[in-house]
Amino acid sequence: MTAKVSSDGLMEEIVGLCKRRGFIFPSSEIYGGYNGFYDYGPLGVELRNNIKQAWWRDMVQRRDDIEGLDSTIIMHPDIWKASGHVDGFSDPMVDCRESKLRYRADQLFFAPVIVAGETIGYVSVVECPQQQEIAEKAAADIKRKAAKQGTLEPIVLKDYTESKPEEYDLVPSPATGKPGSLTAPREFKLMFETKVGPLADDSAVAYLRPETAQGIFANYKNIVDTGRVKIPFGIAQIGKAFRNEITPRNFIFRSREFEQMEIEYFIAPSADWKALHREWIDTCIDWLVSIGLPRASITEDIHPEDKLAFYSQATTDLMFQFPHGEQELWGVACRGDYDLKQHQEHSGKSMTIFDEASKEKYVPHVIEPSLGVDRTLLAVLTAAYTIDEVPNDKGKVEERTLLKFSPKIAPVKAAIFPLLKNKPELVERAQALYQKLQRRWNVFYDASGAIGRRYRRQDEIGTPFGITIDFDTIEKDGTVTLRDRDTCEQRRVTEDQLIQFLEEQIDG
Binding site for ligand GAP (CB under 6 A): 211, 213, 243, 245, 254-255, 258, 260, 262, 328-331, 368, 370-372, 374-375
C-alpha dihedral (19, 20, 22, 24), degrees to nearest 10: -10
Tell me which residue has its CB nearest to ligand GAP: 372
Looking at beta carbons only, is 174 or 331 nearer to ligand GAP?
331
Considering the complex, what minimum distance in angstroms separates the CB of residue 335 from ligand GAP?
A: 9
Q: Do β-strands 233-242 and 257-267 pair in parallel, antiparallel, or remain unpaired?
A: antiparallel
Residue 404's closest CA among 323, 294, 482?
A: 294
Considering the complex, what minimum distance in angstroms separates the CB of residue 230 from ligand GAP?
A: 24
Looking at beta carbons only, is 135 or 318 nearer to ligand GAP?
318
Considering the complex, what minimum distance in angstroms separates the CB of residue 149 from ligand GAP?
A: 47
- Continuous H helices in 355-490: 373-384, 424-438, 451-461, 471-475
Q: Distance between CA 499 and CA 505 in Å, rounded? A: 10
Looking at beta carbons only, is 95 or 245 nearer to ligand GAP?
245
Considering the complex, what minimum distance in angstroms separates the CB of residue 125 from ligand GAP?
A: 22
Angle between helices 213-225 and 338-347 (to 10 degrees): 70
Q: Distance between CA 358 and CA 337 in Å, rounded? A: 18
Contact 66, 233 (CB under 8 A): yes
Considering the complex, what minimum distance in angstroms separates the CB of residue 14 from ligand GAP?
A: 16
Looking at beta carbons only, is 77 or 369 nearer to ligand GAP?
369
Looking at beta carbons only, is 199 or 302 nearer to ligand GAP?
302
Looking at beta carbons only, is 38 or 444 nearer to ligand GAP?
38
Considering the complex, what minimum distance in angstroms separates the CB of residue 57 from ligand GAP?
A: 20
| Nearby residues of 98 by Cβ (< 8 Å), 6 or more positions away | 173, 175, 176, 178, 181
Considering the complex, what minimum distance in angstroms separates the CB of residue 89 from ligand GAP?
A: 9
Looking at beta carbons only, is 254 or 413 nearer to ligand GAP?
254
Considering the complex, what minimum distance in angstroms separates the CB of residue 427 from ligand GAP?
A: 44
Looking at beta carbons only, is 262 or 470 nearer to ligand GAP?
262
Residue 316's closest CA among 306, 304, 327?
A: 304
Looking at beta carbons only, is 242 or 455 nearer to ligand GAP?
242
Residue 435 has φ and ψ, to the nearest 5°, of: -65, -35
Looking at beta carbons only, is 48 or 413 nearer to ligand GAP?
48
Q: Distance between CA 37 and CA 295 in Å, rounded? A: 30
Helix or strand or coil: residue 376?
helix
Contact 420, 450 (CB under 8 A): no
Q: Distance between CA 377 and CA 79 in Å, rounded? A: 30
Which residues on neighbouring strands pair with residue 480, listed in sequence order? 493
String of b and e for 455-471 (b: at least 16 CB within 10 Å)? bbebbebbbbbbbbbbe
Looking at beta carbons only, is 260 or 463 nearer to ligand GAP?
260
Considering the complex, what minimum distance in angstroms separates the CB of residue 344 from ligand GAP?
A: 19
Cα atoms in the 13 Å half-sphere on the side-chain side of 279: 9
Considering the complex, what minimum distance in angstroms separates the CB of residue 263 from ligand GAP?
A: 10
DSSP 459-503: HHHT--EEEEE-HHHHHSS--EEEEETTT--EEEE-HHHHHHHHI
C-alpha dihedral (289, 291, 297, 300), degrees to nearest 10: -60
Looking at beta carbons only, is 119 or 290 nearer to ligand GAP?
290
DSSP 36-82: T-EEE-HHHHHHHHHHHHHHHIIIIIT-SSEEEE---SB--HHHHHH
Considering the complex, what minimum distance in angstroms separates the CB of residue 318 from ligand GAP?
A: 8
Considering the complex, what minimum distance in angstroms separates the CB of residue 159 from ligand GAP?
A: 18
Q: Measuring CA to CA, how many Å separate 301 from each of 143, 161, 314, 333, 379?
A: 37, 21, 11, 12, 17
CA 326, 328, 332 angle in degrees (round to 5)? 140
Residue 411 has φ and ψ, to the nearest 5°, of: -65, -40
Looking at beta carbons only, is 328 or 472 nearer to ligand GAP?
328
Considering the complex, what minimum distance in angstroms separates the CB of residue 315 from ligand GAP?
A: 9
Residue 125's closest CA among 167, 166, 155, 151?
A: 155
